[in-house]
Amino acid sequence: MARINDNFLKLKAGYLFPEIGRRVGAYTDANPDGAAKLIKCGIGDVTEALPEAVRDAMNKAVDELGNRDTFRGYGPEQGYDFLRNAVADNYYSDLPVTADDIFISDGSKCDTGNVLDIFAANGSNKIAVTDPVYPVYVDTNVMIGNTGEGDEDGRYEGLVYLSCTAENNFVPAIPEEKVDIIYLCYPNNPTGASATREQLTAWVEYANANDAIILYDAAYEAFIQDPEVPRSIYEIEGAEKCALEFRSFSKNGGFTGVRCGFIAIPETVTGADADGNRVSIKSLWSRRTSTKFNGASYPVQRGAEAIFSDAGKAQVAALVEHYMSNAALLSEACKEIGLSVFGGENAPYVWVACPAGLTSWDMFDKMLTEANVVITPGSGFGAAGEGYFRISAFNSRENVIEVCKRLKTYLK
């Protein structure tokens, strides 16, 4: 008899986005007219074409693979030097991160889940997550046995939930208790909030004082508009001793389908073995990567490298500008209706309080069936997300203008 990992049975039935897809499918199957008008602002999936510089680089790489003289087989598991160097030079030139600290991957969703491989499981670490939260952090901890059962709000026993509310600008207070691993995501998914230098400094000081590790997800860094907002956790002194940083080319370079991201792990970040000896996290991740991964594909890494060319930078800046202008239009429309609006200024997500009396899923249903617009219910990201909904700014301008019109029609 093959015994399964019982922890999977603790998970709520469906991951949030497939569940939304299921509900949308049921509605559109039964309502062909609604289906024809449907606009999706749910999952944060990019809509605009891959930058030309990226396409050119990928095409060239495919041609190289088509020629025996320039063909390449397995690449380095940790990523090609050309991309690791480009990342280090462009993102970390003045910061304590070297090209050797960069591990290229197939994206941040996988990285934030896979990283748990190198930490003790089954509840040995006290894990803190924000609420609301990107569901991957929670579900992957459930899968490896770091939690007990979930309650009806979807909160799992054993996790420390850090409440993010309008009162704390969606940046959690430092916990009273000692935790070992903290997930932070800024600019934030789902609330669109950003964290100030002072707030991140407090977290880094807490982590260093408590021998904790921060898993810092900066997948939305490219959308920061305010020059005062830190773009990397390593801008904070001491972060090189306690933080791993996750970055992605999905949202800036349009790589949600292409798949490429990376983790930065400075040599100075350590954890403890069972006897309390210090062990380099980077060496464990490198070891794990060599065994379980054969690297992102060569054409994809060449495409990612092209994001850092002059043409690539200009094309990515235009994409960011497009999505952030969408965010501004969506925010404005919600404000005009009188709703309380958050985010959308340094992130491509607009986080909105539901009209009085509506839960997040009520709002989802109303928008789906009346306005034929798919949004994401805030409660899908955690109990503290109840009473909110998220609108993704990843869309064409035409669709966003239409969504603004429908918001005003159906929510007035």
Interface residues toward ligand MLT, by CB under 6 A: 43-45, 109, 189
Closer residue to ligand MLT (CB): 161 or 220: 220
Tell me which residue has tokens 């002072």.
Answer: 198
Nearest approach in angstroms of CB 326 to ligand MLT is 15
Asked if 274 contacts 235 with a C-beta cutoff of 8 angstroms, the reply is: no
Closer residue to ligand MLT (CB): 44 or 299: 44
Nearest approach in angstroms of CB 256 to ligand MLT is 7
Nearest approach in angstroms of CB 109 to ligand MLT is 4
**Nearest C-alpha neighbor of 386 from the set 176, 247, 190:** 190
Closer residue to ligand MLT (CB): 56 or 386: 386
Nearest approach in angstroms of CB 44 to ligand MLT is 3
Residue 39 DSSP SS3: strand
**Nearest C-alpha neighbor of 79 from the set 329, 260, 340, 208:** 260
Closer residue to ligand MLT (CB): 45 or 365: 45
Asked if 289 contacts 78 with a C-beta cutoff of 8 angstroms, the reply is: yes
- Torsion angle of the four alpha carbons 333, 335, 337, 340, in this order, in degrees rounded to the nearest 10: 130
Q: Give per-residue burial for 88-124: e unless 16+ CB within 10 Å, then b.
A: beebbeebbbebbbbbbbbbbbebbbbbbbbbeeeee
State the Cα–Cα distance between residues 83 and 356, nearest whole angstrom: 49
Residue 156 DSSP SS3: strand
> Given 3-state DSSP classes, what are the helix, strand and coil percentages for the chain, each rounded to the nearest 5?
45, 15, 40
Tell me the CA end-to-end span of the chain in Å, nearest whole number.
59
Closer residue to ligand MLT (CB): 46 or 407: 46
Q: Which residue's CB comes closest to ligand MLT?
A: 44
Nearest approach in angstroms of CB 45 to ligand MLT is 6
Q: Which amino acid is at 194?
A: S
Closer residue to ligand MLT (CB): 254 or 266: 254
Nearest approach in angstroms of CB 412 to ligand MLT is 27
Q: Which amino acid is at 304?
A: A
CA triple 325-91-346, angle to 5 deg: 25
Closer residue to ligand MLT (CB): 136 or 239: 136
Closer residue to ligand MLT (CB): 189 or 395: 189
Nearest approach in angstroms of CB 116 to ligand MLT is 16
Asked if 281 contacts 289 with a C-beta cutoff of 8 angstroms, the reply is: no
Closer residue to ligand MLT (CB): 112 or 147: 112
Nearest approach in angstroms of CB 390 to ligand MLT is 8
Nearest approach in angstroms of CB 223 to ligand MLT is 13
Report which secondary-structure segment, H or E, holds 383: none
Q: For the chain, what is the radius of gyration of the CA atoms?
A: 21
